[in-house]
Each structure stands twice: as C-alpha cells, then as structure tokens.
Chain A
C-alpha cells in the first residue's frame, strides 16, 4: 500500500515552498511535486544553479528568493522534480495524484492537497501569433533563467510588468531591443489613478515599478498606444504591422515576444470539480477560494498565482497561510504565537491583494485583443480561426463546450490552455452576454500526454 501523505503540494514556487516548510516543520508528512527540474517556480527558476552573470542580469528580485529556496531544500519533506501530473481524483483516502516521474508512472495518495502550480501567460491571439519566431515574454525569461540564452535582436509587444522587466534584463544583457510596442490602452492610466492609494500601501514595489517603466521609455524605442497588431511573414516571422492613432506602421524583425499579463491556471482544480469564478478585475477565471486558500472541495487548497494573481511576495505569504491552515486542522499543538502570526498573515494577504489592484487596472488587457480578427487562428492546436468560431456561435451553439464539439477548438494537445479564454470571450461577445455568465472550457484527463505503456503501469498503485 502506498504511503498516504498528510499534505501533497503541487508546485515548488514561492507558494508551494512556503507551504511545505510550514507543514513539514510542524511534523506533517509532506510531498512536493514540481514540473520544473529544480525548485523555485517561474520567478526563482533555476536560482539554485544560476551563474553569477545570470543573477546579475536577472536583477535583485530574482536573487531575493535564495533564503526561501535554501530553507525549502533543508526542510524535512519529500520533493520530486521534473514531474508531470496527468490526473487527480478524489479517493476514499483523500486524493489520488497520478504523475509521470522520469518516464515512469507513479501514483501518490494524500489526505490534503495544495494547488500551488502558479499561473500562465494570457494568450495573445493576434494574426500570425502561431508563426515560428513568435515567443512569449515569459519564454524569453525562461530561456534567460534556465538556459542563459538571449536573442540578438527582438521586438517586444504587449503590456504588463513582465514585459518591462524582460526589457530591463535584456538591456542589461546587451540584447538589441528594436522596439517595445505597448498595447496598454491610454485610458488605463486614468482608470488606475484611484488605485494609486492601494498601490501606496506597498510603496517599495510601487517605486520599483515606476522606475522600471520610466527607464525603458527613455532607453528603448518605446511606442505606446499600439493597436491592430499583425505578425507578418510566410514561413516564419519577417516583421510586425501595427497601428498608432490610425496610422499603419511596419517594423522588420525575425523574433517577436508577446505578453499581456498572466492568468491563473485552473485545469487541476477543474478536474477536481472545484467551483470557478470569473474575476472581473484580473480578467480571468479563478478557483473559488477563501483567504486561507480553501476551495469548494474540502481538503483542497490553492495558494499563489494559481489562485489569485499577486506576485511572488503574496504567493509566499499565501503558501504560509495555507500551510498553517492545514496544521491547525490536525491534532498537532502549535505554539500560542502561531495564531497571532496566522491572523497577521491573513491580513497581509488581503492587503497585498488590494494593492495589486493598481497593477490589475493599469495593465488590464486592451479590449480589442479579446476580439481577434476573423482570419486570426484562435485555437493553435486544431488551427481554428475566429471566423469559424463566430459563425458557429451565431448559428446557435450554446457555449464553449458545445463549440469544442462542433469545431474541435479546445480539443487539441494543449487542452485549451491557449484558446480557452479567447473562446469564452468570442462566445460572450457574439451572444452579448457578460463573461461571468459564460462557462469556462471543461477539462478532460489526461492533464498532460501519457502513452499506453505508462497508462497500463499506472493501474498498479
């Protein structure tokens, strides 16, 4: 019989690491499963092995993860890297998590589960985004962190803090940034003003953010108010076409990096049938959860950017809160002051989430980006364009899940990760309904591909 863990944490980013430290210190048996080859999540990716030169290019926020990472590595918990979770289900003993570890299938049992798998980039469906030579800004950062690879020349397109951070890092590393094409709608700046009060509760971050924005504007050809983007090229990228104040421009390039913020990943929670909510402020679906991370399914918690987007510091605090919540659920007697810490941290979670409102409002994605042009491929895997989707919805298709059956959009290998949100936008727009009323794309097993041999073996626990 397999061991039943007290706490199984999916993801070894700031949230997952903090939760694992908290629970294993209290004496619970903890297992952490992580997709990456080393702990740290996206923000502290490869931090344990990064070269000095890399760390200096990546900046101080990257190096700031060292103490947490060291504490996690020293914690008394089981940790497995390079793990692909392909299925999760409820089980008489709690939850069963099926994964592929080093090519072999393994199953784990746990009484409580923490989803700390982080977020993903908001898909940016512009015409030509599927051509070789288009990457995401997140990909650019991953290449820099894990592989110390950087483009010789690139055009950065979109909106959001990560895009500016990448610009800064690339500039320091000596990459020629041909231009930043900023899609942030000008009206966002006005709408964000009331949120300045919220931002001021986190003055250090606010200052850093302002500085980052200013520096890029001065040092890099910075074009704001960009719309109607199109990636040009036949077999691969040859340039980008864009519009500023009704004038059309072209810029030649072979590499483009896109970004328009990040959205929560909901696949695993959806598989467990956790309730979802539409978050209007962050413009994405989220796993419904309370401040302690408890979802609608007892025993399942969520922490970090996989729940509500808030960045590394908030993720770390949320992870700690989730871990403490788990410990208080056990007969383990915690020292008296822990209750105080717990209350304080829960307050911090609320405060930092509020402070995040400034970033959310300032970088809310431009509306035209959720209305792809007819010829734009929305579902990359099955090559379905916006025109097909619109016409099927117009002819009476009820929602995204029916749309999937009619057009195959969302049925491909990525499980709708790259198209799901845009499919919902298209359904909502065509049916003139608010997003909150439109369902998200449903998720089917396996969460990641598994071959028959592995599947056969997985039947033995």
Chain B
C-alpha cells in the first residue's frame, strides 16, 4: 500500500478530471463512457483536461473508445496479475497513479466493482468519497465539485462537497448520465496513452479466484433502451410477464420490474429498477401493477414519459406519471398489444 507520506496534501497541485474505465475481459462497461461524457462538461467549466484510467492485463485497445468519448489522456497499467478484478492489486495500481498524477476529480461507476474499488482507494488516499451520486456540478464561485445523492432510500437528497482533500472522488450509478461520443475525436489537444509500470507478483496477492459463474440472464443494461415496460407484484405471476415482454418488443424496448417482482421470482434481479437495482431514464417507462414505493421511484422518475397502469387510483406511482390509467393491467395490456398490432399492420399496408 501507498506510504502516506507520499501523498501530496497541497490541493492546488491537483488538476484534471479522471474517469475510471471499468472493464471485464477487455470489454469496457458502458457507465465509463457515461462518465467521460459528464467529465467533458465538468472539464469545460473547470478549464481542465479529461483523462481516463484503466487497469487490467490488456487494456490499451480501449484507447480508441476512450478518446472517442472525450478523454485526452489515457493512463494504463497492464499486468497479468491484474487480469481479473481483485480489490487489493487494483486498489494499489489506481492509488499509485493518483498519487503520481494528482487528479482533482475522480469519477467511478457505482457498479459492484466500482463500489468495491472506490471505498478502498479513498481510504488509502485519505480523501472523501461520495457514493451513488445522481448529479454532479461545479460551483462557479469555489470551483468545487458538488455531488448530489439520494439517502434514506431516496426520501432525501444530499449535496456533498469535499473542500480540503483531493481528489474529490465520487461513484455514479449506471444510467444516470447519457454516453454521447464526440463528433470528431478531440482536436488540437494532447491525446496520448501513458503506460505506467508497477511491479506486481502473483505471490503477493493472497486472494485467488477459483471460479466465475456468469448468470444465465447475463448483464442486462436497462439504460440502453428508449422504452422500458416494467411490472410489479400486481402482474400476479411470472407467466403474465410474457405480455410485458411482447409489449416491449412491439415498442422496440425491454422489460423490467420492481423488487417485489424479483422477490416473488417473476423476474431476475438483473432486471430490477430502483434503489437497489438499476437507475433508468428512458423516453418511455410503462409501469404495470407497480405501487410506486420511493425506492422504486428513485430509479425511474426521471423518465421522459411515464405511463402507469394500476387498479388503485391512489397508487403513489400516479404521482410521478405523465398518463394515469386506472385499470387491471392483466386485461389492459393484452388489449393494448392487440390495438398496437392493428396499427402496425395498417401502417405496413400503407
């Protein structure tokens, strides 16, 4: 671990905004590009550069995408020991880079890996970490990063800042920001890959991975879809989710659900929306048989159009809905599908 004496406590020495590029088997996580996009906006206000950092056994090939999303520098550490994510060697590699290059702001995706890593890195660096943020802005007066996050299960929002320690670290949930590539790669700026050599030996890493199981559902990134059709306990059983899948297909979207739907075995956890699931902001969110508990709302209330179908006219979900439909979803959805199919075939006939 880093010698504490090596950490520079003069915060004026810290510059630029870093984004951690999370990768598995050489595949970058989408959230990393969402964060690069946000970092561009913050950097233009701070008048500084955006850099990306990746750690693994082979990550240099990510440079193309990283530059496409606006990084101007790409710091990498490559070593066989770093092939799979393990807390301790990743922690050491990332903290080493921070101590050496001194970023002012450091953004990491709030995934299982990102949360695991950020907590240890911030402790090593003795700096502040704001977890699971949903909003990032630069205070014009002080230049500090203001980070806003939900607490108390989404009932309360807190804006947090870190005035005296650097980097200002924060994790951001996947799906909160959109990933937008640059029209053309950054122009006139330095674009370079900085390879950092750090000595690792497998013997020093006491944790060994024996087995990895990829769940059959895999990793569903709900944030990719413009339309999400979501179901809750009110859908009654697993089979009834087939109508939601069909509706989602018709609308070019995907299906998801509430935590109760997960607990009842209707849907896999990988499709849960909300505080302990994924955050989404599609163009259209259709909630069927979902009551609208605060923990669900924090994950979807920023959707552009929300349509809720619920038998209870007072269900809280209606308080955030654009269109409220007080009907039995099990009867309503099949009818809606029928109607839409009709519209589709008339369109095609025309």
> Does B bind A?
no
